[in-house]
């Protein structure tokens, strides 16, 4: 991403960022599912909601 810290004007900054995004190489596809690192929750007790 282009360094836009010195650009004060919001629209100008937006233009620069958009151009940089277009130029950047596409990101690689994910190897695992997005939620793979999430803590897995075991089945809770039946009845009243516990979380």
Q: What is the pLDDT of residues 5-50, one digit of tens each?
A: 888 899 999 999 999 999 989 989 989 888 888 888 777 767 676 6
pLDDT at 1 over 70: no
Q: Under 8 Å CB-to-CB from 1, ≥6 apart: which residues?
A: 17, 20, 21, 24
> In angstroms, rounded to a whole number, what is the distance separating the alpha carbons of residues 14 and 2?
10
Give me the numbers of helices (H) and strands (E) for the chain, helices first please.
1, 0
The predicted model scores a pTM of: 0.48
């Amino acid at each position: 991403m282009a360094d836009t810290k010195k650009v004060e004007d919001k629209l100008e900054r937006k233009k620069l960022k958009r151009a940089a995004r277009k130029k950047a190489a596409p990101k690689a596809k994910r190897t695992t599912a997005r939620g793979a690192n999430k803590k897995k929750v075991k089945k809770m007790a039946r009845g009243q909601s516990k979380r």
